[in-house]
């Protein structure tokens, strides 16, 4: 595609979308720049490309109408794309949403360019940066309202996005799991002899967005067997360790519990259990 005055607006905005993708890829922790580029990427560009495809002519829409319609259609398109992604294996996540919007932009670029080429050059819409911009007094009352409303919407969305980016927390929880000795959810030691030992693997993953201290108590029929203490984990850090226990008395369907505690809490934060059959040794 050759760059000329009829498509340079489309290609420039495509390039802006490409810069956002590179920013996400190369600087995943630089949230401020992602917000600055992401707000127009979400709130303006999808609608602008669709408007360009629907109205390729210079006189199809006035400039302020094109701007307002771009904002309005973006607000309608982005949730629609998100809804469609929700019913796919990709889900509503950063990369699927970003790439879907960018793919939509590229498709609309091709359609808009195709339609612009089908009309006379003087009738094609293009942005003339050398043309005179009207002063505020030369703008009509309705257009002033549209401009002010658009500015307020963009500023509000930017402030909201900045707040969410700086205060974004997912669900706060601790992952607690028990695996068999092979590291899989199978072959648990549920049949033992009196005095025999069983081994499991316990794991803890901190998703609390803060440092946490944990300890674990093992009980068999509410009688303490073992305590594992001072597990210190930062956010997204994990602990996994083999734990061996001994069955001292025979019985059927005895409840072996793994109790996870946070800090000095009296009540367990998470609980897991296995059912044991303990028989007399032959």
- The per-residue pLDDT for range 80-104, each reduced to its tens digit, is 998 898 888 888 888 888 899 999 9
Same domain? 33 vs 95: yes
Same domain? 53 vs 106: yes
How confident is the model over 31-41, as pLDDT tens digits? 777 777 888 88
Strand 238-246 versus strand 223-233 pairing type = unpaired
Same domain? 149 vs 183: no
DSSP code per residue over 197-219: EEEEEEEEEEESSS-EEEEEEEE
Cα 201–chain centre separation: 31
| Residue 100 Cα distances to 17, 89, 175, angstroms | 11, 14, 32
Same domain? 21 vs 142: yes
How confident is the model over 97-131, as pLDDT tens digits? 889 999 999 999 999 999 998 898 888 887 765 55
Give the count of domains, the chain.
Answer: 2
Long-range contacts of 184-193 (CB under 8 A, 24+ apart): 188/274, 189/274, 189/276, 190/274, 190/275, 190/276, 190/277, 191/276, 191/277, 191/279, 192/247, 192/276, 192/277, 192/278, 192/279, 193/247, 193/278, 193/279, 193/280, 193/281, 193/282
pTM of the model: 0.51
pLDDT at 240 > cutoff 80: yes
The model's confidence at residue 153, banded by pLDDT at 50, 70 and 90, is low
Place of tokens 């790439």: 99
Looking at the domain assignment, is residue 1 inside a domain? no
Same domain? 144 vs 211: no
Please report the pLDDT score of residue 136 as a whole number. 62
Q: What is the percentage of the chain residues whose pLDDT exceeds 70?
A: 82
Strand 197-207 versus strand 212-220 pairing type = unpaired
Looking at the domain assignment, is residue 2 inside a domain? no
Same domain? 159 vs 50: yes
The CATH number of the domain where 217 resides is what?
2.60.40.10
Please report the pLDDT score of residue 133 as a whole number. 55
Q: What is the mean pLDDT of residues 45-61?
A: 91
The model's confidence at residue 271, banded by pLDDT at 50, 70 and 90, is very high
Looking at the domain assignment, is residue 3 inside a domain? no
Please tell me the distance from the alpha carbon of residue 217 to that of residue 228, in angstroms, as a whole number: 6
Of all helices (H) and strands (E), which one includes residue 104?
helix 94-116
Please tell me the distance from the alpha carbon of residue 93 to that of residue 98, in angstroms, as a whole number: 8
The model's confidence at residue 1, banded by pLDDT at 50, 70 and 90, is low
Domain span including residue 61? 8-128+136-166
Same domain? 107 vs 155: yes
């Amino acid at each position: 595609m050759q760059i000329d005055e009829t498509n340079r607006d489309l290609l420039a905005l495509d390039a802006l979308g490409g810069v956002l993708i590179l920013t996400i890829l190369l600087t995943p922790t630089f949230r401020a720049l992602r917000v600055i580029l992401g707000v127009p990427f979400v709130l303006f560009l999808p609608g602008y490309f669709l408007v360009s495809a629907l109205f390729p002519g210079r006189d199809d829409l006035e400039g302020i109408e094109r701007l307002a319609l771009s904002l309005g259609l973006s607000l309608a398109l982005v949730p629609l794309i998100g809804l469609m992604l929700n019913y796919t294996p990709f889900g509503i996540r950063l990369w699927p949403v970003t790439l879907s919007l960018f793919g939509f932009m590229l498709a609309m670029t091709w359609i808009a360019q195709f339609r612009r080429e089908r009309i006379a050059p003087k009738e094609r819409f293009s942005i003339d940066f050398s043309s005179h911009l009207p002063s505020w007094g030369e703008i009509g009352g309705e257009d002033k309202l549209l401009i002010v409303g658009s500015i307020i919407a963009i500023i509000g969305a930017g402030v909201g996005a900045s707040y969410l980016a700086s205060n974004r927390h997912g669900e706060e929880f601790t992952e607690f799991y028990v695996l068999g000795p092979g590291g899989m959810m199978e072959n648990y030691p549920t049949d033992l002899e009196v005095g025999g030992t069983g081994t499991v693997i316990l794991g803890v993953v901190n998703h609390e967005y803060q440092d946490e201290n944990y300890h674990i108590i093992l009980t068999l029929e509410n009688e303490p067997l073992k305590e594992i203490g001072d597990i210190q984990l930062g956010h997204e850090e994990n602990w996994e360790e083999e734990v061996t226990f001994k069955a001292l008395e025979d019985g059927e369907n005895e409840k072996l519990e793994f109790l996870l505690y946070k800090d000095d809490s009296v009540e367990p934060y998470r609980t897991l259990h296995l059912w044991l059959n303990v028989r007399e040794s032959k």
